[in-house]
Structure formats: C-alpha cells, structure tokens
Structure 1
Amino acid sequence: LPPTGPVRPDSYDFSFDSYFSGIGGSGFFLGDPKLLAPASTAPTGAPFGARIASAVENAREGIADHIRSSIGGSEGEIAAALIVGVRAGIPEAINESMRRTGIYHIISISGLHMALVAGTIMFLLRGAFALFPDFSSRRPVKKYAAAIALASIAAYLVISGIVVAAERSFIMLAVMLVAVLFDRAALTMRNLAISAIAVILVSPHEVVGPSFQMSFAATAALVGAYAGFADYRAGKTTAPPVKRSFLKFLSRKLAVGVGGAAVTSLIAGSATLLFAIWHFQRVSPLSLLANLAVMPIVSLIVMPFAVLSALAMPFGFDGPFLYVMGKGLTAMIAISAWISDRSPVDAVGLISIQSVLLATIALVIA
C-alpha cells in the first residue's frame, strides 16, 4: 500500500517523510518471521557501497546482540538503541512512559548523545594529556582532543545507522569542533547558522519536520540564554573568593549543577513546546521534573560508560562498563515509570499555522 497521509487535517504527514526517505509503500504480514537464508555479506557482484553498507549493518546487529546478552532485559534493548541505534526491541510500555514524561529524546540518537560522546572523549584525552605536563605546555592539546572527538562522533554516526537526526546533530557538532580547531568560539549563533545552512543543503525537506525545528529552536534558545548570562557575569564585579569548608564547597557546586540543569531544561522545553504542540498535539506536563531527575543519570553514568564500553569492546573488557550502564538505565526506567503514572492527560488541541508562525517570530525576536 502507498504511505498514508495525515490521519486528520493538518496533522503529521507520513507520506511526505516517506517520499524523502525513499519509501514507496508499506505493508504487513501474518505469522512469525522465518529466516530462510542468512547472509553475512552482500551478494557477490554488489556495488562497493552496498558491500560497505552490509558490513556496517552486520556490525551494528552483532554489537546490538552482544549488548543485549550482556545487560539483558529492557535495559539491554535501550543500551543497544543508545550505542548502535537499534530500537526495535524496546517494549512499547517503556516507550509510552518516556513520551508521557518528555524524555523520549534520550532514546533517539541526536545532539545530546553526540555532545556527550564528544565531551567524554575530550575529557578523557585532556586528562591523559595532563599527565604529561611538558608535552601539554608545548602543544595545542585542546585541538588534538577536538580532532579526535570529531573522528569519534563520525564513527558514532556510522555505527548508529546514519539516521536523519544523528546526521543533523553530527553536522552541528562538527561545525563547533572545527571552530575549536581554528581557535574560534564553539557555541555561537554564527556556528548555529552555518550548521543550519549545511543541514538544509543536505536535507532541505527537514526544515518542515519536527526534528529540525525542535533541535534548532532548543539550541538557539540555549546559546542565546547562556551568551546573555556570560555577558552579565562579565560586566559584574566579583567579590574575592571566600574560604569555605569542603562540605559547603560541595553543597554549592551541587546546587549550581542542579540549578543549571533545571534552567537548561526549562529553556529548552519552553523553546520546543510550541513545535511539540503543533506536530504532535501533545505536551508533557511533568517533563521538567522528569528531565531534572533523569538527565544527571544519563549524562554522568549512562553515556560515559557507553563510550567506555565501546572503547573496551574490541578487547573484550566491556563487561564492567556495560554493567554500570545497565544499572543507570534501570534507574532511568524506574523514574520514568513513576513520573508517568502521576502525569495528567498530555493531549492538547490542534493550533493554527498562523499561531505557530507568529509565535515562532516572537521566539526569534526574543
């Protein structure tokens, strides 16, 4: 059957996305699937590109199977989704609870994951370079770390299946890492504009899609907000540091971290709220609470240990890292389910395109 259009007027058009994805039809079958002739490689005589794609896909499936067998359960399915982009095995109940709580973006490989991978790589490399002070003082180690981080997210893009969201996020982050290589500020509106132009050149149809709009709206809002905060701090006279006890120092750092995470979630959520309502006609009332509770687990446990497990996997030492990652995912699933059970109805009505355009203009001006 040909791809279906919108299920109701002005709702999501499946046929539009299918056309640009090269999908000409869809269907279903009855009964359980049966593997007739397993193929580990592309057919003989296949084009070089097809053989490469087949090898990458086989590697992705092999890694996904290894992750599932190591972690097990729903946690293993989510870990496979985060590392290699294989999401088919995640139970629908978990998917729905994460949608209701506004943290489903964690499952889809996007800018968050690319940034955490690049950040983890740069943190590890800068720490390793710091062990050799003579070398670090004479060499641009920050640029070395940025170059290796760029290569790492390129490999992550390939192993994750090069989906549209990951491709767009890679372009955005690549522009920022290249800026570091040329001694330029990474998080600027100019770099964001360059990223948007590059994405439009590669996939122009993405401009009208929810992924493009929500991603760039959130990034633009965060860059603008934190640039304004940086200007405010630069013009403010700072008092000399006061000696504090270690407990007070730790408490202050924790409060700043929690406050920063809350403000970040609030800014990004406010910027994407309009587009979420327009495209999906639903909004997550408790998304701020859910993101505030879950994001530290994802940022400090799940993704860093996912990177470490990927680095250790070729040597067979990935077991401990996957174990810690699985425990983090267990906590994430439990928090999501608890908040989802207490979330009110998240469905909202359809808003007009005129309202969306006017609100978008107001958002840009602000």
Structure 2
Amino acid sequence: MFLALGIGGYFLLPIEPPGLVVILGLCVAFAAVVLSQPGIRLAFIALMIFMSGLGLAQWRNDRVAAPQIIDGSHSFSVEGTVEAVEPQDNGHVRILLDALKIKTLALEDTPQRVRITVRTDSHDVTAGDRVSLRAILSPPPDPVAPYAFDFARDSWFKRIGGVGFAVTDLAILERPTTRSLTNRVNGLRQYIAHRTTMRLDNRAGGIAAALLTGLRGYMAEDDVEAMRIAGLAHLLAISGLHLGLVASTAFFLIRLGAAAIPAIALRFDTRKAAAIMAWLVAFAYFWLAGATIPTQRAFLMISIVLLALLIGRQPISLRVVALSALLILIATPEALLSVSFQMSFAAVTALVAAYEVLAPKLAPWRRRAGFGKRTALYFLGVVLTTLIAEAAIAPFSAYHFNQLTSYGLIANLVAVPLMAFVVMPLGLLALLLMPFGGDGPVLDLMALPFPGF
C-alpha cells in the first residue's frame, strides 16, 4: 500500500522533484529504520517504502523518456519498422512503428515510436515489415476533461512520440528474413485474428478474435458498447477469467490423459506434471493476448497458484494478490494509474477476501452435496462473485466512466457459465487445431453464443 502511495504521490506532484531530493529522502528513511526504537520502526519502514515508490516512479519516468512531436500537426515522410498491426472495424488499419527515420527531423528529435491510422488497404502488412508513408503527425493529445484518461501520459510511458493518419498509401520496403520474438508474436496474433474473422465473417468473428488474441479492433463499436452497458466488458479484457479457464482446462485435460495411462498414473505425481504443463499453456496464451496489465496480473497470480500446488501450499490468498501487485508496480509503476489495474485488483482482492471467509464454511456442505446441489452451488457462486466484483469495481466505474451497470448480475449469470464451459474451452481447442487446419468447425461452435452468428 505504501509503495502505491509513493507512486501516486509522484504523479500528483505539480513539478518534477530533483532526483537528489528523492535519494536523500530514501537514505534518511533507511537510516531512521536502522537507528529507531522498535516502537516506531514500523512507521519509518512505511516511510522508506513510500519514498521507494516515489523513486521508482521517477526512475521509470526518466527511463522511458523519448522525443515527441511538438508544435501541432505537421506532414512528415515516415519510414519505420512495423511493431504491431490492429485492423479496425471500419476497414482502416492502425499500425505502431518504431526504428523511425523521419525526414526534416534530426535523429535526436525523432520519436521512438509513432502510431498511425492507414485508411487505404494495408491488411497485408505484418509485424517486422519495413514500411514508408507520408502522414500527418501531432503530439499525443491531453485529457479531454479534468481527470479524464490522459492519452499523452499513457503514450509517454509507451514511448509513443506522435499519433496521426496516413495521407498516402503504405509502401512495404522490406520483409525481413528473420523477425524478433515480439514481432513474431504480434504477427501470430494478427494471423489468428484474421483467420478467425475470415472463418466467421461477421460480428461474431470480432468477438472471437478479441477473446483469442486480445485484439479488439475487429469488433463492431455497437457490440463493445452493448457489452459495456450490460456489465460484460470484463469478458473482453484478457484477465483472470480467461487465463484461469485456459490454465484449468489444460490442467484438467492433462491430468485426465495421464490418468488414462496406468503406467504413468501409478508411477508419477500427475498433479505436479499437469501444473507445469498448464503453466506453459498459460504462458503461451499470456503472450498471445498481448501481455496487457490485466493479463500480467492474472498470469502472475496463476503462476504463484501453480507454484503453490507444486510445493503443497495454500494456492489462493491475499498474499498472492499483494505479491502480484507488488511485482507489477515495481516493473511498471505507471500501471497504478490505469483503470484496468485499479478495477482488476479491486475485484480480485474482494473475491479472494470473500473466498477466504466463505470457502471453509461451504466446503463440508459441498462434499456432501449431490449433482443437483452442486449445480445450484455453482450458480450461487456465480451470483456471489458477480455481486462482490460489481460492488468492488463500482466506485472505479463511477469515477472513470460516470456510470454504473444495471444488468450486470443477470448478464454475468448467463455469460460466465457460457465462457467457462463452452467459449474458452472451444477457443483453446481451436488454437491447438489451427496449425493443422482443423479449427474451422470448432470456431463455428465457439461462436454460437455470440451475436450475429
């Protein structure tokens, strides 16, 4: 908590504090911890952690510093390497370029990255391609209202120094013979999303592509808005639900397969082997989904849970949540300001706290319950988790979006079981069959609950 307070304190400062002051404050706090009496030592430890958060945020801010476009909008001749491609539902393509060469800009004034919307047919461009075009670029925009989303700050930490749109066709100068791992992953995401939308060829394809790859550009704006109003927007953000379903499905199938082979089941601990394989599957899906902040949080928690299974410890606890938050804030302090971090950790903290209280009380009843009572208990769990999560994220939803959902309970009562037992298991199966060309019928089944199918 005090680390987060220090990070938040840095971003609230009206001016950039001198680095020497932050270092001096941290040293003073450390000395106070060492020299103070036990009665007040905890207070100085809290102060030291607070100053550490302040220093982390400042260090991160300096580390990502990169040139930006200044003085309004201008036309530039741009050459760069495609880092990511995201088609939009209106037919346009938004590309992220790095390794830039911009005529009329000196090297020291050239941004690290720019994001450009291309309105002409550019669907054949992939991550790693070297391209050129002419574009109107401007600085990343400031918030449209006080305390609204700060696109300029978000772009700063992503080292995006300019945004704009192309005024000429995009020309592919070179397709590399070898691509970096990041470009390969981004290219694979683009391929899977394109293949999915070509198979389903309607609104359902956009939703399926978003669930499989995290790329929402294929979705119709009406569908995104409808899911947000219904309280189902969390299903589009690849997070704990999705990674948990993928990992648990892999864990179950691997244990089931191992149990069917007596030579393996009788000689080896299949639970530990299944946990390792499930982690590898979750890791692959983590990268495929874009490694966003909710995905990072979910993957860290799943990793700790699976590690706890391996060493025989309690897998779900508030310590796991706190450790996940700590690791994310140390690596990316700016994540504290993102709505995804705030809402995901608020929901998970509330759910885990409720689980620690309710699980021991429900466990004896669940062990004695038959199929009917177990089914009723499952739907009761869906209702409770929805109510708890909605209550936890309601203040953040009201603050960031100025609204609260009215249909969240009913919508989640229908959508979450479909996601758990139909959509995500079939999505995982489709990904596994895609290299062999057998994904088409599975994608058709996966899309049955989606609108427009």
Question: TM-score per shorter chain, which class?
Answer: 0.7 to 0.9
Greater fraction strand: 2
Q: Report the CA distance between 1:233 and its aligned residue.
A: 4.3
Work out the percentage of aligned pairs sharing the same amino acid.
Answer: 36
The question of whether the paired residues in 2 share the 8 Å contact of 1:172 and 1:196 is answered with no
Partner of 1:261: 382
Letter in 1 for 2:376: A
Q: Pairwise mapping of residues 285-296 of structure 1 onto structure 2 (< 5 A)?
A: 285-296=406-417
Root-mean-square deviation (CA, aligned residues, Å) is: 2.4
Change (3 A) 1:270 1:257: same
Residues 104-253 of structure 1: pairs in structure 2 closer than 5 A: 104-233=233-362, 241=368, 249-253=370-374
Paired AA for residue 422 in structure 2: I
> Does the 8 A contact of 2:243 with 2:299 survive in 1?
yes
- Between the aligned partners of 1:213 and 1:239, the Cα distance in structure 2 is 33
| 1:98-145 Cα distance to aligned partner (Å, 9 max, x none) | 111111111121221111110110111111122124532432211111
Matching residue of 1:361: none
In structure 2, how many angstroms separate the alpha carbons of the residues matched to 1:312 and 1:101? 32
Alignment partner of 1:72 out of 195, 201, 214: 201
Tell which has more relative contact order, 1 or 2 (C-alpha 8 A, sep 6+): 1
Contact 2:366–2:374 (8 Å) recurs in 1: no
Is the 8 Å Cα contact of residues 102 and 286 (structure 1) preserved in structure 2?
yes
How far has the Cα of 1:309 moved from its partner?
0.8
**Does the alignment pair 1:97 with 2:232?**
no
| 1:279 maps onto 2:400 in alignment | yes
User: Following TM superposition, by how much is the alpha carbon of 1:86 offset from its aligned partner in structure 2, in angstroms?
Assistant: 2.0
Task: Determine whether 1:28 maps to 2:183.
Answer: no
* Aligned equivalents of 2:181, 2:360: Cα separation in 1: 48
Shift of 1:35: 4.5
| Equivalent position of 2:150 in the other structure | 13
CA distance in 1, matches of 2:387, 2:421: 20
| Partner residue in 2 for 1:86 | 215
Contact 2:397 2:404 in 1 (8 A): yes
Distance 1:98 1:240 in 2: 36
What is the Cα deviation at residue 190 of structure 1?
Answer: 1.3
Checking the alignment, whether the CA contact within 8 Å between 2:206 and 2:218 is kept in structure 1 is yes
Partner of 1:297: 418
Alpha-carbon separation, structure 2, partners of 1:240 and 1:302? 28
More moved, 123-132 vs 133-142: 133-142
Name which of structure 1's ranges 152-161 and 264-273 shifts more when overlaid on structure 2: 152-161
1:284-304 CA distance string (max 9 Å, x none): 111111111211111111111
Deviations 1:144-196 (A, max 9, x none): 11111111111112222223332232222212212222211211111111111
The 3 A distance-change label for structure 1 pair 137 and 227 is: farther
Aligned to 2:59: none
Q: Does the residue aligned with 1:117 lie in a helix, a strand or coil?
A: helix
**Secondary structure of residue in 2 paired with 1:26:** strand
1:221 touches 1:271 (CA, 8 Å); kept in 2?
Answer: yes
Contact 1:192–1:220 under 8 Å retained in 2: yes
Among 169, 172, 197, which residue is 1:37 paired with? 172
Q: Secondary structure at the match of 2:290?
A: coil
Tell me the matched-pair count: 316
Counterpart in 2 of 1:326? 447
- Checking the alignment, whether the CA contact within 8 Å between 2:293 and 2:341 is kept in structure 1 is no
Greater share of helix? 1
Structure 1: 5+ residue runs without aligned partners?
Answer: 243-248, 335-366
Question: Given the two structures, how large is their TM-score scaled by the length of structure 2?
Answer: 0.65
Q: Measure, in 2, the Cα distance between the counterparts of 1:165 and 1:38.
A: 36
Alpha carbons of 1:2 and 1:301: their partners in 2 closer, same or farther (altered >3 Å)? same
